[in-house]
Amino acid sequence: MSGLLVSALGVTLAGKRIVSEIALTAAPGQLTGLIGPNGAGKSTLMRALLGLGPIGDGTVTFHGENLLSMPSRQRARTAAFVEQSGQTDARLTAREVVTLGRIPFQSLWQSMPSPEDLAQVDAALDAVDMQAFAARLYHTLSGGEQQRIQIARALAQQPRLLVLDEPTSHLDVHAQLAMLALLQRRARKTGATVLIALHDLNLAASFCDSLVLLHQGRLVTQGTPAEVLTPALLRDIYSVSATLLLHPTSGRPLIAYDLPESPSQ
Protein backbone atom coordinates (compact mmCIF):
# COMPACT_ATOMS: atom_id res chain seq x y z
CA MET A 1 0.00 0.00 0.00
CA SER A 2 1.50 3.33 -0.98
CA GLY A 3 0.99 6.53 0.95
CA LEU A 4 -0.27 6.86 4.49
CA LEU A 5 -2.57 4.22 5.91
CA VAL A 6 -4.02 4.64 9.39
CA SER A 7 -6.26 2.03 10.94
CA ALA A 8 -7.91 1.65 14.34
CA LEU A 9 -5.85 4.51 15.77
CA GLY A 10 -6.83 5.68 19.21
CA VAL A 11 -5.30 7.88 21.89
CA THR A 12 -6.01 7.71 25.60
CA LEU A 13 -4.90 10.65 27.72
CA ALA A 14 -5.24 10.57 31.52
CA GLY A 15 -7.80 7.78 31.30
CA LYS A 16 -9.87 9.66 28.74
CA ARG A 17 -10.30 8.47 25.18
CA ILE A 18 -9.41 11.54 23.06
CA VAL A 19 -9.64 9.90 19.64
CA SER A 20 -10.66 6.36 18.79
CA GLU A 21 -10.98 4.00 15.86
CA ILE A 22 -9.59 6.37 13.29
CA ALA A 23 -9.05 4.93 9.82
CA LEU A 24 -7.86 7.10 6.99
CA THR A 25 -5.67 7.09 3.93
CA ALA A 26 -3.56 9.80 2.33
CA ALA A 27 -2.25 9.24 -1.18
CA PRO A 28 1.17 10.32 -2.51
CA GLY A 29 1.19 13.48 -4.62
CA GLN A 30 -2.08 14.64 -3.07
CA LEU A 31 -3.29 17.01 -0.38
CA THR A 32 -5.44 15.25 2.19
CA GLY A 33 -7.35 17.68 4.39
CA LEU A 34 -8.25 16.98 8.00
CA ILE A 35 -11.34 18.94 9.01
CA GLY A 36 -13.70 19.03 11.97
CA PRO A 37 -14.91 21.47 14.62
CA ASN A 38 -12.70 22.56 17.50
CA GLY A 39 -12.02 19.68 19.86
CA ALA A 40 -12.59 17.08 17.16
CA GLY A 41 -9.14 15.66 17.89
CA LYS A 42 -7.29 16.84 14.79
CA SER A 43 -4.10 17.89 16.58
CA THR A 44 -4.10 14.82 18.81
CA LEU A 45 -4.55 12.57 15.78
CA MET A 46 -1.73 14.24 13.84
CA ARG A 47 0.69 13.93 16.76
CA ALA A 48 -0.34 10.33 17.43
CA LEU A 49 0.14 9.15 13.86
CA LEU A 50 3.64 10.63 13.89
CA GLY A 51 4.45 9.01 17.22
CA LEU A 52 4.72 12.39 18.97
CA GLY A 53 3.19 13.20 22.32
CA PRO A 54 0.82 10.69 23.91
CA ILE A 55 1.35 7.22 22.48
CA GLY A 56 -1.52 5.95 20.38
CA ASP A 57 -2.71 2.42 19.77
CA GLY A 58 -3.55 1.05 16.34
CA THR A 59 -1.43 0.93 13.23
CA VAL A 60 0.08 3.62 11.04
CA THR A 61 1.96 2.57 7.95
CA PHE A 62 3.59 4.74 5.33
CA HIS A 63 4.53 3.07 2.04
CA GLY A 64 4.18 -0.22 3.88
CA GLU A 65 6.50 0.71 6.76
CA ASN A 66 5.28 0.91 10.34
CA LEU A 67 5.65 4.58 11.26
CA LEU A 68 5.10 4.07 15.00
CA SER A 69 7.80 1.44 15.52
CA MET A 70 10.33 3.23 13.32
CA PRO A 71 13.42 4.60 15.14
CA SER A 72 12.79 8.28 15.84
CA ARG A 73 15.65 9.58 13.68
CA GLN A 74 14.57 7.50 10.71
CA ARG A 75 10.98 8.67 11.23
CA ALA A 76 12.18 12.29 11.25
CA ARG A 77 13.80 11.65 7.85
CA THR A 78 10.53 10.20 6.55
CA ALA A 79 7.90 12.50 8.01
CA ALA A 80 7.98 16.18 8.96
CA PHE A 81 5.55 18.05 11.17
CA VAL A 82 4.63 21.75 11.07
CA GLU A 83 2.83 23.08 14.10
CA GLN A 84 0.15 25.73 14.18
CA SER A 85 2.50 28.51 15.15
CA GLY A 86 6.20 28.18 15.73
CA GLN A 87 7.17 30.59 18.48
CA THR A 88 10.61 30.80 19.99
CA ASP A 89 12.73 33.09 22.13
CA ALA A 90 15.89 31.62 20.72
CA ARG A 91 18.09 34.01 18.79
CA LEU A 92 18.14 32.08 15.54
CA THR A 93 18.23 33.39 12.00
CA ALA A 94 15.68 32.12 9.49
CA ARG A 95 18.43 30.03 7.90
CA GLU A 96 19.37 28.52 11.26
CA VAL A 97 15.75 27.56 11.86
CA VAL A 98 15.61 25.83 8.47
CA THR A 99 18.90 24.08 9.32
CA LEU A 100 17.17 22.50 12.35
CA GLY A 101 15.47 20.28 9.75
CA ARG A 102 18.86 18.68 9.09
CA ILE A 103 19.24 17.43 12.69
CA PRO A 104 17.97 13.91 11.84
CA PHE A 105 20.71 13.65 9.19
CA GLN A 106 23.61 14.89 11.33
CA SER A 107 25.83 12.66 13.44
CA LEU A 108 26.65 13.41 17.06
CA TRP A 109 30.27 14.21 16.23
CA GLN A 110 29.60 16.44 13.25
CA SER A 111 30.31 20.03 14.24
CA MET A 112 29.27 21.90 11.11
CA PRO A 113 26.53 21.35 8.51
CA SER A 114 27.71 19.15 5.61
CA PRO A 115 27.63 20.39 1.98
CA GLU A 116 24.54 18.21 1.53
CA ASP A 117 22.91 19.94 4.53
CA LEU A 118 23.69 23.36 3.08
CA ALA A 119 22.32 22.38 -0.34
CA GLN A 120 19.09 21.05 1.16
CA VAL A 121 18.66 24.18 3.30
CA ASP A 122 19.13 26.39 0.23
CA ALA A 123 16.69 24.30 -1.80
CA ALA A 124 14.12 24.54 1.00
CA LEU A 125 14.55 28.31 1.29
CA ASP A 126 14.13 28.60 -2.48
CA ALA A 127 11.02 26.41 -2.43
CA VAL A 128 9.23 28.81 -0.06
CA ASP A 129 10.81 31.85 -1.75
CA MET A 130 12.44 33.04 1.49
CA GLN A 131 16.09 33.15 0.43
CA ALA A 132 16.06 36.95 0.80
CA PHE A 133 15.07 36.59 4.46
CA ALA A 134 17.63 33.90 5.33
CA ALA A 135 19.89 36.16 7.42
CA ARG A 136 17.04 37.81 9.32
CA LEU A 137 16.41 36.83 12.93
CA TYR A 138 13.42 34.51 13.00
CA HIS A 139 11.52 36.38 15.72
CA THR A 140 11.60 39.60 13.67
CA LEU A 141 9.68 37.98 10.78
CA SER A 142 5.93 38.35 10.27
CA GLY A 143 3.58 35.46 11.05
CA GLY A 144 3.33 34.47 7.40
CA GLU A 145 7.09 34.61 6.92
CA GLN A 146 7.66 32.53 10.05
CA GLN A 147 5.19 29.96 8.79
CA ARG A 148 7.00 29.74 5.45
CA ILE A 149 10.29 29.26 7.30
CA GLN A 150 8.67 26.46 9.33
CA ILE A 151 7.62 24.80 6.08
CA ALA A 152 11.14 25.23 4.71
CA ARG A 153 12.46 23.60 7.90
CA ALA A 154 10.10 20.70 7.29
CA LEU A 155 11.18 20.47 3.62
CA ALA A 156 14.83 20.37 4.70
CA GLN A 157 13.96 17.05 6.37
CA GLN A 158 13.36 15.74 2.82
CA PRO A 159 10.12 14.18 4.03
CA ARG A 160 7.95 11.91 1.92
CA LEU A 161 5.15 12.62 4.39
CA LEU A 162 4.37 16.21 5.39
CA VAL A 163 1.89 16.77 8.23
CA LEU A 164 0.73 20.31 8.95
CA ASP A 165 -1.49 21.42 11.83
CA GLU A 166 -3.55 24.44 10.71
CA PRO A 167 -0.60 26.21 9.13
CA THR A 168 -2.84 28.95 7.67
CA SER A 169 -4.58 30.02 10.85
CA HIS A 170 -2.49 33.15 11.46
CA LEU A 171 -2.13 34.19 7.85
CA ASP A 172 -3.95 36.72 5.70
CA VAL A 173 -5.87 35.57 2.63
CA HIS A 174 -3.03 36.11 0.19
CA ALA A 175 -0.57 34.18 2.37
CA GLN A 176 -3.12 31.38 2.91
CA LEU A 177 -3.62 30.87 -0.82
CA ALA A 178 0.10 31.10 -1.51
CA MET A 179 0.90 28.51 1.14
CA LEU A 180 -1.66 25.97 -0.05
CA ALA A 181 -0.61 26.49 -3.67
CA LEU A 182 2.98 25.88 -2.60
CA LEU A 183 2.06 22.66 -0.79
CA GLN A 184 -0.02 21.48 -3.74
CA ARG A 185 2.82 22.15 -6.20
CA ARG A 186 5.24 20.38 -3.90
CA ALA A 187 3.03 17.31 -3.57
CA ARG A 188 2.43 17.08 -7.32
CA LYS A 189 6.10 17.59 -8.17
CA THR A 190 7.79 15.32 -5.60
CA GLY A 191 5.04 12.80 -4.98
CA ALA A 192 5.09 13.68 -1.29
CA THR A 193 2.06 12.80 0.80
CA VAL A 194 0.57 15.88 2.49
CA LEU A 195 -1.86 15.69 5.41
CA ILE A 196 -3.10 19.09 6.46
CA ALA A 197 -5.54 20.20 9.16
CA LEU A 198 -7.63 23.17 8.08
CA HIS A 199 -10.32 25.24 9.73
CA ASP A 200 -11.45 27.07 6.61
CA LEU A 201 -13.71 24.63 4.75
CA ASN A 202 -13.67 26.63 1.52
CA LEU A 203 -9.88 26.59 1.57
CA ALA A 204 -9.98 22.82 2.19
CA ALA A 205 -12.48 22.35 -0.64
CA SER A 206 -10.36 24.39 -3.05
CA PHE A 207 -7.03 22.70 -2.52
CA CYS A 208 -7.49 19.23 -1.02
CA ASP A 209 -7.93 16.13 -3.13
CA SER A 210 -9.48 14.23 -0.26
CA LEU A 211 -11.07 15.33 3.01
CA VAL A 212 -11.20 13.49 6.34
CA LEU A 213 -13.97 14.72 8.63
CA LEU A 214 -13.53 14.20 12.38
CA HIS A 215 -16.06 14.84 15.10
CA GLN A 216 -15.65 14.28 18.83
CA GLY A 217 -12.61 12.11 18.37
CA ARG A 218 -14.19 9.85 15.77
CA LEU A 219 -14.00 9.58 12.03
CA VAL A 220 -17.21 10.70 10.31
CA THR A 221 -16.25 10.13 6.72
CA GLN A 222 -13.48 10.42 4.17
CA GLY A 223 -13.99 11.30 0.53
CA THR A 224 -13.62 13.99 -2.12
CA PRO A 225 -14.61 17.52 -1.05
CA ALA A 226 -17.88 17.14 -2.98
CA GLU A 227 -18.67 13.91 -1.11
CA VAL A 228 -17.82 15.21 2.35
CA LEU A 229 -19.08 18.78 2.28
CA THR A 230 -22.81 18.15 2.08
CA PRO A 231 -25.44 20.43 3.64
CA ALA A 232 -26.57 17.55 5.83
CA LEU A 233 -23.10 16.88 7.29
CA LEU A 234 -22.40 20.60 7.74
CA ARG A 235 -25.63 20.88 9.72
CA ASP A 236 -25.00 17.77 11.83
CA ILE A 237 -21.34 18.35 12.57
CA TYR A 238 -20.84 22.11 12.45
CA SER A 239 -24.43 23.19 13.30
CA VAL A 240 -24.54 25.56 10.34
CA SER A 241 -26.92 25.61 7.45
CA ALA A 242 -25.34 26.24 4.09
CA THR A 243 -25.92 26.08 0.39
CA LEU A 244 -23.36 24.26 -1.75
CA LEU A 245 -22.33 26.10 -4.90
CA LEU A 246 -19.76 25.30 -7.51
CA HIS A 247 -16.68 27.45 -7.92
CA PRO A 248 -17.09 29.17 -11.30
CA THR A 249 -13.64 28.25 -12.62
CA SER A 250 -12.35 25.25 -10.66
CA GLY A 251 -15.70 23.49 -10.40
CA ARG A 252 -14.90 22.61 -6.79
CA PRO A 253 -17.54 22.90 -4.06
CA LEU A 254 -18.02 26.35 -2.57
CA ILE A 255 -19.90 26.76 0.69
CA ALA A 256 -22.29 29.71 1.04
CA TYR A 257 -23.29 29.86 4.69
CA ASP A 258 -26.83 30.90 5.52
CA LEU A 259 -26.53 33.88 7.82
CA PRO A 260 -28.39 34.02 11.12
CA GLU A 261 -31.43 36.26 10.76
CA SER A 262 -30.55 39.83 11.58
CA PRO A 263 -32.90 41.68 13.88
CA SER A 264 -35.51 43.62 11.87
CA GLN A 265 -34.84 47.27 11.40
Partner 1 sequence: MKPEHAATAQRQPLFGLAFAGLAVLLLFSIVVTVTMGPADIAPMEVWQTIAHHLGLVPESPVSRLRDAIIWELRLPRVLAAAAVGAGLALCGAVMQALTRNPLADPYLLGLSSGASLGAVSFLLLGASLLMPLGAFLGAGAAMALTLAVTQLLGGATPTRAILAGISISALASAATSFLIFWSATGDSYREILSWLMGSLSGTIWSEAALVLVALAVIGPPILLSGRALDAFAFGETSAASLGVNVPRLRWILLGSTALLTGVLVSIGGAIGFVGLIIPHVVRLMTGSRHRLLLPVAMLLGACFMIWTDTAARSLFAPRELPVGIITALIGAPIFLAVLLRYRRIT
Nearer to partner 1, 6 or 117 (CB): 117
Query: Could you give the CA distance from residue 231 to residue 18 in angstroms, rounded to a whole number?
Result: 27
What is the pattern of x (binds partner 1, CB under 8 A) and - over residues 190-209? --------------------
Q: Least CB distance from residue 252 to partner 1, whole Å? A: 31
In the bound state with partner 1, the residue whose beta carbon lies nearer, of 30 and 157, is: 157
CB hemisphere CA count around 140 (13 angstroms): 9
Judged by CB under 8 A, the number of residues near partner 1 is: 38
Q: State in angstroms the smallest separation of the CB of 260 from partner 1.
A: 36
Q: Long-range contacts: 39-44, Cβ < 8 Å, 24+?
A: 39/216, 40/214, 40/215, 40/216, 40/217, 41/11, 41/214, 41/216, 41/217, 41/218, 42/165, 42/166, 42/197, 42/214, 43/84, 43/165, 43/197, 44/11, 44/13, 44/18, 44/19, 44/217
Q: Give the shortest CB-226-to-partner 1 separation in angstroms.
A: 33
CB of 98 to partner 1, least distance (A): 12
Cβ closer to partner 1: 89 or 261? 89
Buried b (16+ CB within 10 A) or exposed e, 49-68: bbbbeeebebbbebeeeebb
Binding to partner 1 (CB under 8 A): which residues in 66-105?
72-77, 79-81, 83, 86-93, 96-97, 100-101, 103-104
Enumerate residues 6+ apart whose C-beta is below 8 A from 73: 104
- Among residues 197 and 201, whose Cβ is nearest to partner 1? 197
- H/E stretch holding 190 reads helix 173-190
Which residue lies nearer to partner 1 by CB, 140 or 243? 140
Nearer CB in complex with partner 1: 163/179? 163
Do residues 65 and 178 touch, judged by C-beta distance below 8 A? no
Q: Which segment (129-137, 167-175, 232-240, 253-261) binds partner 1 by CB under 8 A?
A: 129-137
One DSSP character per residue, 28-62 reads TTSEEEEE-STTSSHHHHHHHHTT-SSPEEEEEEE
Residues 144-173 that bind partner 1 (CB under 8 A): 157
CB of 82 to partner 1, least distance (A): 9
- With contacts defined by CB under 8 A, name the span among 5-13, 136-144, 167-175, 239-247 that binds partner 1: 136-144
List residues near partner 1 by CB under 8 A. 47, 50-53, 72-77, 79-81, 83, 86-93, 96-97, 100-101, 103-104, 106, 108-109, 111, 135-137, 140, 157
